[in-house]
Chain A
Amino acid sequence: MFGRAKIAPQPQKDYASCSGCGLCLLVCPVWRRDRDIGLTPLGRAKALQHGAAAADIGESVQSCTLCAACEPACPEDIGLVAMTLDLRRQLVQPAAVQSLRTRMEAQAVRPRAPRPASPAVLLPGPALRERPGTLARAVALLGGAGKISIADDDGSDIALALEAGVSIPAPRLERFLQPLRGLRKIVVADGLLLRHLQQWPPGSKIASLGEALSGVAAVRRALRASDLYVIEPRAYHAGYQRLVNYYDALRADCGCVLNLDLQRIAIPAAARSLRHRLDLAAAVDTMDTSANDSIQARWILQGRMTTRIVVESLEDGAAFERVSDCPVVHLAELADDGT
């Protein structure tokens, strides 16, 4: 037959495989905010397919919130998060990102933390650490200090480095991972860190804080049919195939409304920019982030009758508190922990 040639199947799908279906647009919070194809995975894919370099699409690469909603939506199963991070690594790093590298190097030479005595560990992240009461309740709900301990090193600098596309020095990564090896379970509040932990320490069960807490019977009993339950999107999309059924069962069990769209993709409540998370240009970005979060949070609430908003992530909670008079409750604050 004339005019045809066999192409060897590619081992890993990348932007070259994008067929332009645009399903990623439908779930992208940046798209909802700006209605600009150039700032979406589709726009990046098409630009790269036609010869653009990372620097040519720098604004698009940096604007991605890494909510990962595009990944389960993509029918080609393209690793969109990994590729966005790869593009970020190719961009010239601003000075503040360089300081993040310095911070990781300093962490790497600190004495190693003792191995936790409990079989499970919680990596709470900075937001939860700032709320000691909520953190204590989370630990209590997850079985108490005998069953789960709070990690001395929760890798918050690593999570930021991952997001910024900054390479992580091997000694820093080893210092972080060493105490985690051999644990039965690791509960992670940061969804991006969870995604990477699924590949790093072998043999441990990795769960998001939301999944772990929502599996507690006392928490489930406290959920009401009139609740809006807000799933933390990064962790959800990192384990989508399994978690879509988990949360469907939760919905059936409790009757609450979830922040899922018709594709069963989690709508992010917040559209945090990388610059904000790195504490750059705080004044400007705080305004930006508030506006962005308002669009997202308002969209989740639109047309939904709810009496309470239950969040897995404190940052999502803050987004709803800005736009709604409904009480906003973190999962850990939902049930009596018995303490």
Chain B
Amino acid sequence: MHVTDIEPGTLGPCHVAPDALQGIKRQQTNPARWDGANWEEFAAAIRARGIEMREAAAALAAFATDAGGTAYGLAHGVVIARSTEQVALLLQAAQRYRVPVTVSGGGLTTEGESVAFGGVLLDMTGMSRVLHIDAEALTVRTEAGIFWHSLAEELRRRDLDYLSAPLNLTSSVGGTLGVGGIDVNSARLGCSADQALSLQVVTPTGEIVECSDTHNAALFQRVILGYGQFGVITEATLRVRRYTPLRMHYFYYSSLRTAIEDLQLLDHNDASDYSGILTIMDCAVNVLLAFDSPEREAAFMADWRPRLRGYGEFGFGLCTLVHYALRPWKLGEAWYLLQRKRELFPELQRPEYMRGATMLERSVVFSRAVWKFWGNRQMVIPDLATSAPKFVEAVERGNAVCRKYFPHYTLYLVGIRLRPEHRAHYEMSCIPPDAEGWAYGCEFEPMLGDTMYSRDYLQSFKNEIYDIGVDMGASYYRFGGMMKGYIRRVFGDALVDRHLALKRQADPAMILNRHVIF
């Protein structure tokens, strides 16, 4: 979609057109709180079915915001999911009384998607048991409210591991399958949702349905990466694998473009088992590679290492020293780099998670580091997802926006291997429609630290990043909640209207996660 340039502060030719807001300062808007009609009758009906409904202020407060910390809302009541049947009863009653239901897993959304603006907050973490592990078939059946880390704890007792999950210990399985999920092995294994073999789903009207690519496939395709619009995932069967510790390698670049080109070279040649980019600054870019076996590592060292343009830690340190010695006016930047290295690097090599050169617990190491160094009561992480050829430009343009808004920020970039047979899953999701083979995603995360930014300031930042996506025909991972104004701009009216019609058919009272997408 091409967006014509408009003089900032002026209206475009049509002030209600999708692109009419470009250049105009846009403020964050949250949905209006649901008015509570029929709430008492609904709550009584729920309690009559033996379901505990909590309405005390302290119980509601635990869900008043999400990890983003910029959207706030209060439910009328909280229900902790305890069984699929209970979820079905809840949704049936919600349809009858037209009460909105907002589903929360780990609560790690950043745009208020898991915040209830009235109605019921359904806390899925109450359903977090592992039901069955088949170590021979390499599958696990689990309740969907389970955190990936809790799943990993159980799998590891059997020397197994999940395939792929966000580098965040408290993401829930159901939440991740609903949005995609990326990991540093996504360039090889696809997004986290790709490991789902089948799901048990409670539809918005309260039917319990088992679905997969071959059974109730239409529902499966809409629920996977469906942002919670077409059902509540209550159980999931996932592919798993044998556990392996990782052999880590870090390469350092002073150019984003060079680092991305090398990353894509490695991804497209299956040269590593894990790959990603994490920046300290845009002139200190770290390409992270890892391997499951010494054989894969040796093959990389022989075939691909010589082609990489990045340095090892010592070499990069030397180059950086020379760079700043010739530019003494940038000593502040050098000092920041040094401090960051001193804080961050030991955290990535804590001895309790290492055995020699191998990392035992990658999700623990990276998740702890993410929260320790990037976690905050406010977090904004706008992102861009593009096809491989567009990625460098998208990242460079996004990086320029970050520079404009914040003194310090981090970019996290990974590839996502696309599964041709999952094309239907990817419709209206973070996977851009023009991507072939791989999609690439970049998260732009400002380091807010002790500085408190206004919500409007943060929203303006996100808008500028997302405007790039509209301009380039990209997609986003976080397009729901506060960013849903971009959905029609980036996906187009025809596709969105088709999904809206499906939603209305599946959810006549539009009660399930009603403010997230439509």
Contacts and interface: CB of A to CB of B under 8 A. Distances in A.
Interface of A: 1-9, 17-23, 25-26, 35-38, 42-43, 46-47, 49-52, 56-57, 75-76, 244-245, 248, 261-264, 302-304
Contacts of B56: 56
Interface string B506-517: 000000000000
Contacts of A56: 56-58
Contact of A46 (B61, B454, B457): B61
B500 interface: no
Interface centre among B353, B368, B371, B453 (most CB of A within 10 A): B371
A314 B259 CA distance: 56
A192 B62 CA distance: 28
Contacts of A3: 453-454, 456-457
A219 to B, nearest CB: 22
B364 A21 contact: no
B317 interface: no
B308 to A, nearest CB: 31
Contacts of B217: none
B451 A7 contact: yes
Interface string B40-77: 00000000000000101111011111110100000000
B371 A19 contact: yes
B166 interface: no
Contacts of B457: 1-4
Given A2-B457, A22-B106, A46 B62 contact: yes
B515 to A, nearest CB: 20
B195 interface: no
Interface residues of B, number: 53
A26 B457 CA distance: 34
Contacts of A47: 58-59, 61-62
B170 A262 contact: no
B352 A52 contact: no
Contact of A26 (B69, B147, B157): B147
B371 A262 contact: no
Contacts of A5: 451-452
A7 B452 contact: yes
28 contacts: A2-B454, A2-B457, A3-B457, A4-B453, A6-B450, A6-B452, A7-B450, A7-B452, A8-B450, A19-B376, A19-B377, A20-B377, A21-B375, A25-B147, A26-B150, A26-B170, A35-B126, A37-B62, A38-B62, A42-B62, A47-B59, A50-B57, A50-B64, A56-B58, A262-B152, A262-B153, A262-B156, A263-B169
Contacts of A9: 450
Contact of A36 (B57, B61, B126, B451): B126
Nearest to B66: A20
B372 A245 contact: no
A51 B61 contact: yes
B36 interface: no
Q: Is the interface of B mostly helix, strand, loop or mixed?
A: mixed
A37 B157 CA distance: 25
Contacts of A23: 169-170, 367-368, 371
A9 B451 CA distance: 10
Given A36-B126, A37-B123, A75-B368, A17 B58 contact: no
Interface in B410-461: 450-454, 456-457
Nearest to B170: A22
Nearest to B375: A19
Interface in B329-375: 351-353, 361, 364, 367-368, 371-372, 375
B351 A245 contact: yes
Contacts of A302: 154, 157
A308 B158 CA distance: 20
B239 interface: no
Contacts of A25: 125, 147, 170
Interface in B450-491: 450-454, 456-457
A-B interface, 5 closest residue pairs, ranked by CB to CB distance from nearest: A303-B157, A3-B454, A3-B457, A50-B61, A22-B170
B107 interface: yes
B450 A19 contact: no
Contact of A49 (B61, B123, B126, B368): B61
B452 A4 contact: yes
A21 B170 CA distance: 7
A6 B63 CA distance: 27
Interface in B263-319: none
A50 B156 CA distance: 37
Interface in B66-110: 66-67, 69, 80, 106-108
A72 B364 CA distance: 13
A335 B375 CA distance: 47
A46 B67 CA distance: 12
B128 interface: yes
Contacts of B157: 302-304
B222 interface: no
B61 A75 contact: no
Contacts of B375: 19, 21, 75-76
Interface string B361-405: 100100110011001110100000000000000000000000000
Nearest to B360: A262
A34 to B, nearest CB: 9
B57 A52 contact: yes
B64 A46 contact: yes
A19 B67 contact: yes
A262 B451 contact: no
A96 to B, nearest CB: 25
Given A46-B63, A248-B351, 17 more contacts: A2-B457, A3-B457, A6-B450, A6-B451, A7-B451, A19-B67, A19-B375, A19-B376, A20-B66, A26-B149, A35-B127, A36-B80, A38-B58, A42-B62, A49-B61, A75-B368, A263-B364
B171 to A, nearest CB: 9
B17 to A, nearest CB: 28
A46 B107 CA distance: 12
Contacts of B64: 46, 50
Interface string B18-52: 00000000000000000000000000000000000
Nearest to A50: B61
A4 B451 contact: yes
Contacts of A19: 67, 69, 371, 375-377, 379
Contact of B58 (A1, A21, A52): A52
Nearest to A35: B126
Contacts of A21: 67, 170, 371, 375
A13 to B, nearest CB: 12
Contacts of A245: 351-352
